[in-house]
Amino acid sequence: MTKVIVVGGGSAGCVVAARLSEHPDIDVVLLEAGPDLRAEETPAEMAGPNFVDALAVPGRTWPDLVARRAIGQAPRTYVRGRGIGGSSAVNAMVALPGEPGDYDRWARDHGCVGWSWAEVAPWFEQTALTLRRAPRHEWAQVNKALADAVPEARAGARLTRDDSGRRVSTNDAYLDPARARANLTVRGDALVDRILLDGRRAVGARLADGTELDADAVVVSAGAIHSPAILLRSRVDVSGIGAGLQDHPSFPLGIRLREPAAPGTLAIATTAQLSSSIGHRDLQLLPIDHVDPAFPDLGLLMAAAMDVWSRGDVRLASDDPLVDPIVDFDMLSDDRDVEVLLQAIELADQALAHPAMRAIGEPIPVDRSIDSIRAGLGDYVHAAGTCAMGRVVDTRGRVVSYDSLFVCDASVMPRLPRANTLLPTVMIAERLASSLRASLTSLASR
């Protein structure tokens, strides 16, 4: 029996643990820093259509995690899912694969042989996630108005939900159906301090409470913020850990709604993926009907740059696993991102001027100078790139020059796709789990 520890039960970790445990000769222990709840125990706020309600559930995000988005900004809260299902249990459920050119670029420019669009496309099709478009009668007013104003938004986005409208997280789709297996153990409230190493071979993990667990292989799936932090605390000696941090920079344009959004209803049903003058489908308009329960008459239209060139980093603030790392995205440090975001804001302004938008409310005036944009810059909580393939890990997720140590989550993306990151992350987890399972079972049979 080959024993594998999976660190992190989020969007990728649930997939990895479920797929590896399909083979009876692989014993899997999944360690999750937050609470472990089965699908039937999911709070109604998290199972429902409104991500604002999901994010408000206590204990389901990292409470002290902050990040600096751009120069001139002070660090502020950066939302990451915590607990089984990770961000897939609290996000806006938008499921986009990205553009074919995103993955062709991985293979061509970053040395990720085997990761071109032709090679990854079949893996998107086999996801266990349930993907559905919300019927038009469930759309709230900002989403409907954007669809009337911008043709690209009319079809609606696929969402990780079932036919009844219930959220389908990676816990629901992957882990829960696997829990009855004798070779799968799930441990919640198990914060990992570091990977245990024998020279350059991973042999287990140490929890924050000092408990040590042995393993034949360790897969780190703690996300693009905490995976590099764990490797850095473990003194993994590979150049580039924590570098290359990316997210999609966004700028919020407020709408004072004439009729407040109904509580608990779907916040995001569609997106508009558009092209700038310098790229293809490299910007996005995202309508949001719910922002804050304290301001029910506030809607947003987010303008975002999707083909990102700026890079930041993740660094340790302390060796203490209870202290979150320092996160600096350094967004808009590349002028190409500035240009695309400015064009996204211009297209958002055009949409806000459309009669369909004017019928539901009035745009809230905002200074559109570059200094104001930098000060008000947001993100899409799509952190990626901090343990990238071609730099920190190879194309099988193995940490370069180490044995039995793997990383599998959005941190291995060498470059952000032009998409919300959940579906690409699940695709990566499916592929890497498949190759790891094959290598482990081959080893066990010798």
The closest of 305, 368, 367, 365 to 332, measured between CA atoms, is: 305
Asked if 153 and 285 touch (Cβ cutoff 8 Å), the reply is yes
User: How many angstroms separate the CA atoms of 51 and 22, rounded?
Assistant: 31
Burial class (CB in 10 A: 0-12, 13-18, 19+), 208: middle
Instruction: Decide: pTM greater than 0.85.
Output: yes
Q: What is the pLDDT of residue 43?
A: 97
414 vs 122, 228, 307, 382, CA distance in Å?
Answer: 20, 14, 13, 13
The pLDDT score that the predictor gives to residue 340 is: 98
Strand partners, 326: 315
What's the confidence (pLDDT) of residue 443? 54
Which amino acid does the sequence have at 421?
T
Helix (H, G, I), strand (E, B) or coil at 312: strand
Instruction: Walk me through the domains of the chain, giving residue ranges and CATH numbers.
Output: 1-129+168-247+311-331+383-446 (3.50.50.60), 133-167+250-307+332-376 (3.30.410.40)
Q: Phi/psi at 204 (nearest 5 deg)?
A: 160, -165
From first to last of the 446 residues of the chain, give the pLDDT tens digit: 999 999 999 999 999 999 999 999 999 999 999 999 999 999 999 999 999 999 999 999 999 999 999 998 999 999 999 999 999 999 999 999 999 999 999 999 999 999 999 999 999 999 999 999 999 999 999 999 999 999 999 999 999 999 999 999 999 999 999 999 999 999 999 999 999 999 999 999 999 999 999 999 999 999 999 999 999 999 999 999 999 999 999 999 999 999 999 989 999 999 999 999 999 999 999 999 999 989 999 999 999 999 999 999 999 999 999 999 999 999 999 999 999 999 999 999 999 999 999 999 999 999 999 999 999 999 999 999 999 999 999 999 999 999 999 999 999 999 999 999 999 999 999 999 999 999 887 655 54
Supply the pLDDT for residue 44.
Answer: 96
The kind and range of the H/E element at 442 are helix 422-444
Q: 160 in helix, strand or coil? A: strand
Q: Which long-range contacts (CB under 8 A, 24 or more apart) does 233-239 make?
A: 233/193, 233/194, 233/316, 233/319, 233/321, 234/194, 234/195, 234/197, 235/194, 235/197, 236/195, 236/197, 236/399, 236/402, 236/405, 237/401, 238/392, 238/399, 238/400, 238/401, 238/402, 239/391
- Cβ atoms 234, 194 nearer than 8 A: yes
| Segment holding 13, helix H or strand E | helix 13-20
Tell the residue number behind the tokens 């066990």, with chain if given. Answer: 444
pLDDT at res. 26: 97
CA-based nearest residue to 102, from 313, 282, 303 = 282
